[in-house]
Structure 1
């Protein structure tokens, strides 16, 4: 496994294939307040590419093109947050998307543990450390521990998708999952527009 750290944007000519695992690191958990700092990607080959963004300009045309490329499926865990952050800071509409957290909630109804760490442990037998989750992602120089942590969040999403797809099909919920994934950009837009905690489909 190799972790590649790129400053500002993806390198020219990099082809990550038709299905890319994506995650991001920000300065907090409120997408319209907390700046986007790092975007990490993997083609499922065991390697991770981290883009440390220029927060003064957010000029990353190749990364933005990939995120908005309708021919490339982007796999996330809790896509709602990342898609909102990309819309806020990169001014890009990400899609199409697949969210392993939503897939887990639809097919693993026997548990309330749907975090990446829990799903990876059960379905893949892999332990993912969350030690660096709360650290300074806005630092000019990322530590090796931060880089390794960020990479770990995308390295196994392809394998998780495969496991979850089989469970969704078994339970007859694949079409429902696809509909949820298609709605995710709208849900992210609602978050940014002022309805983060409101269920607009509720009676009251």
Structure 2
């Protein structure tokens, strides 16, 4: 096994950047985080490969400043797999590509049955990658050589994969589809924070009453604050199920909370004062959460449409098979041709009048790419108009 060296100082990073600047063609980039172990999503290893330059493994915390690396490769095409997962961590290091090639997204557009990195490498190059360390704690130091080998292989073949996939995209007439999708990933704004993130507690549906929900909210907030302070994944301190169990047990004292056997986790007992203070704060709260939220602009589930908005239900049922059929013709998953959410929003609130042009404008406003509009707008418009005519015909027949 090759001996992999991690660059863990600024001088080494500057030297590596100088070599990468002299390399040729696209740059393969990958990131390893410590998801499930750390609170943050920061990068604990950045892997970079470029032809005629070589492969480099960077340790971000001790390096600190990636200005030289950004200057060396920032203007080049970066090849990433599932870029939307890695871009936030890279941007935290002020590493920002001018353009990208996403091998996972390309494989989806091409209709590959398997789109994980290992599968795509195997399908395109015939090389099998071991994926044994994908869920490891990458904040561990020193990193074992077997982990470093896994990390290196994640980028070592990525440029070759990119070339194979690009040739397939050209052959299938999908190169422009891919270019628009890659640009959309790069330009996508981060999601706005949830107004009440504590409602994502697993098992919260078993909690009844606004007072009890207030206690759950305070316990979640206390755990979140402590997790941020310690840079530990919240669920490793106290799992969701333990928080819900504490709420349901409704303990009358700190010792009663400690006696709740389901209240587990590495900080459940060591931080008992913290959790008890949160329970008392929840009980004293005067601003109580609602039992149910409106969900903002979330649409009702389609199964409820027949009662809530029967015309929309008819439109959706008419248009969905049209989009699915076009996706089959293009040999790609339906959600990559047009996400179900966009079609639902369009069916719920269509433009007036319904034409291919107005449907296309509505889709663009909702965030669809031009190629998606070109491939779907006429079919959706025809389906919407046909559904209305079908309803009118049926009512005339019955009358």
TM-score range, shorter chain: 0.7 to 0.9
Is the contact between residue 23 and residue 41 of structure 1 (CA under 8 Å) also seen in structure 2? yes
The answer to whether structure 1 residue 103 and structure 2 residue 106 are counterparts is yes
TM normalised by structure 2 equals 0.44
| Superposed CA RMSD | 2.9
Hey, what does 1:65 align to over in structure 2? 71
Is the contact between residue 14 and residue 69 of structure 2 (CA under 8 Å) also seen in structure 1? no
Unaligned runs of 5+ in 1: none
Unaligned runs of 5+ in 2: 195-297, 299-338, 349-399
Is the contact between residue 22 and residue 75 of structure 1 (CA under 8 Å) also seen in structure 2? yes
Hey, what does 2:133 align to over in structure 1? 132
TM normalised by structure 1 equals 0.82
Greater mean alpha carbon deviation, residues 166-175 or residues 7-16: 7-16
Q: Per residue, is there more strand in 1 or in 2? A: 1
Distance 1:170 1:36 in 2: 36
Give 3-state SS (helix, strand or coil) of 2:190's partner.
helix
How far residue 66 of structure 1 moved from its aligned partner, in angstroms, is 4.0
Q: Bigger radius of gyration, 1 or 2? A: 2
Give 3-state SS (helix, strand or coil) of 1:40's partner.
strand
The Cα offsets for residues 131-178 of structure 1, whole Å up to 9 and x where unpaired, read as 011112112311101110110100111111111111101110001101
Is the contact between residue 80 and residue 100 of structure 2 (CA under 8 Å) also seen in structure 1? yes
How far residue 61 of structure 1 moved from its aligned partner, in angstroms, is 1.7
How far residue 60 of structure 1 moved from its aligned partner, in angstroms, is 2.2
The Cα offsets for residues 87-110 of structure 1, whole Å up to 9 and x where unpaired, read as 2x2144332111001110111x15
How far residue 180 of structure 1 moved from its aligned partner, in angstroms, is 0.9
Matches within 5 A, 1:142-153: 142-153=143-154
Hey, what does 2:190 align to over in structure 1? 190
Is the contact between residue 24 and residue 38 of structure 1 (CA under 8 Å) also seen in structure 2? yes
How far residue 33 of structure 1 moved from its aligned partner, in angstroms, is 3.1
Hey, what does 1:79 align to over in structure 2? 83
How far residue 37 of structure 1 moved from its aligned partner, in angstroms, is 0.8
The Cα offsets for residues 13-40 of structure 1, whole Å up to 9 and x where unpaired, read as 22233311000001117x9932211100
Is the contact between residue 66 and residue 94 of structure 2 (CA under 8 Å) also seen in structure 1? no
Is the contact between residue 77 and residue 99 of structure 2 (CA under 8 Å) also seen in structure 1? yes
Is the contact between residue 8 and residue 59 of structure 1 (CA under 8 Å) also seen in structure 2? no
Residue 194 and residue 175 in structure 1: after superposition, are their counterparts in 2 closer, same or farther (change >3 A)?
farther
> May I ask how many residue pairs the two structures share in their alignment?
194
How far residue 122 of structure 1 moved from its aligned partner, in angstroms, is 1.3
Give 3-state SS (helix, strand or coil) of 1:43's partner.
strand
Distance 1:45 1:132 in 2: 28
Give 3-state SS (helix, strand or coil) of 2:149's partner.
helix
Hey, what does 1:26 align to over in structure 2? 33
Distance 1:154 1:110 in 2: 20
Kindly indicate whether structure 1 or structure 2 has the higher relative contact order, using CA contacts under 8 Å at least 6 residues apart. Answer: 1
